[in-house]
Amino acid sequence: MSNRMWGGRFGGGPDDIMEEINASIGFDQRLFAQDIRGSLAHAQMLVSQGIISQADGKAIAEGLAQIEAEINDGKFKFSRALEDIHMNIEARLSELIGEPAGRLHTARSRNDQVATDFRLYVRDALDHMKAQIHELMAVLVSKAEAHSDTIMPGFTHLQPAQPVTFGHHLLAYVEMLARDAGRFQDARKRLNESPLGAAALAGTGFPIDRDMTAEALGFDAPMGNSMDAVSARDFALEALSATAICATHLSRLAEEIVIFSGPAYGFFDLPDAFSTGSSIMPQKRNPDAAELVRAKTGRIIGALGGLMVVMKGLPLAYSKDMQEDKEGVFNALDSLSLSLAAMRGMMDALGVNGDAMRAAAESGFSTATDLADWLVREAGLAFRQAHHVTGQLVALAEEKNCMLDELPLAEMQKLEAAISEDVFSVLSVENSVASRRVFGGTAPEAVRARVVHWQNWLAEAQS
């Protein structure tokens, strides 16, 4: 039996193995809305250019509308024998309207058709992802405002380093997410050119209007080279790169939720809706949602690497290898969308134990740097000398099992005579945090100013 798509070139149909490796309908059926949008724009252009009749154009539009309704209602029967979403829709259109369906593919190839569908899908996903990022940013900004003066330890090497405010800590992720949103926006700009009209690889001899279809589909312009139009997948690579970077940021925050919600720190109280219990240990509350956000980053990064490997050796123009471009992209975009939603829910409901944070900030001599700075600023010591004296004072405090601000002044003056009683003004965690009023610093007033900045930024972005 001759395959209806290949016609007479192949006398026998593909065997089961060929059908299994060749069919993409199992995953590319999610492109149905984009495929129908592209076909409608193409049909309208063909009518406008006098390539097909108005009657055929009307029949095609009505048939495509019915197909979209059938798919949305779950009544459409997808066929593996028809390989992909394009042929499934075309076959059903033929059943519905007969001969005019065969004219829809005039001046078009599946090569430019799938390239158009895929760009439209990724563009829609980028818009959705950017909106989700803004929603998470809003939650973090709100929480940062509420905790602009909640003191916690700032860490380097996961060791207490200097006291900071929890609001400042949260705003670090807001900064990251804003850059993520910018990357999605930039990727969208470069993506937003239309492959439609490139046909198989060389363009078409029909008098089509590529500007008309580009405008109808919301593209800025048609792509300028037909071979590039059907074979480029760098738009998907760029989208995956932005997705992987964003997922990496979420994974860092997820890791902190895992660490700081444990009994060793006790900074966070996990919301019940985003944690689970143990089947054997009744006292456990496991941060499963955070752990899964952390883990999904692996598959997202893998999707980026996978597509780069697929594309790295392909000659121009189209090769069937490119059928492998979609599953990884779909999965990565789905995974990031789910991770953003989960993180938004977790952070919105996360309980914060300010007392535990403050106690941790007071441990580990986290104001030692403030002491060294004071010795430079007030006692006139060179920083290296001040660093050395501060180290001696930390050792003394360890020996006496006390905090730096609990050391007797006389004991400190034995190590450095220039130390005065004014030194105690920098040794508390409150004074340490309050002193860092520089732009981008952790002082509560600096945090509140940055909160206002991000509130205005989000309001403008969503307007």
Q: For helices 54-72 and 85-97, what crossing angle results, to 10°?
A: 120
How far is residue 125's CA from residue 25's CA, in Å, rounded to a whole number?
A: 20
3-state secondary structure of 403: coil
Does residue 363 have an active-site annotation? Answer: no
258: how many CB neighbours lie within 10 A of its CB?
18
434: how many CB neighbours lie within 10 A of its CB?
19
Does residue 387 have an active-site annotation? Answer: no
How far is residue 187's CA from residue 233's CA, in Å, rounded to a whole number?
A: 12
- Here the contacts of 48-55 (C-beta below 8 Å, separation 24 or greater) are 48/209, 48/212, 49/206, 49/207, 49/208, 49/209, 51/106, 51/107, 51/206, 51/207, 51/208, 52/100, 52/103, 52/106, 55/100
How far is residue 306's CA from residue 331's CA, in Å, rounded to a whole number?
A: 12
2, 53, 79, 278: the catalytic one is 278
What are residue 437's phi and psi, to 5 degrees?
-90, 0
How far is residue 236's CA from residue 239's CA, in Å, rounded to a whole number?
A: 5
Give the active site residues. Answer: 157, 278
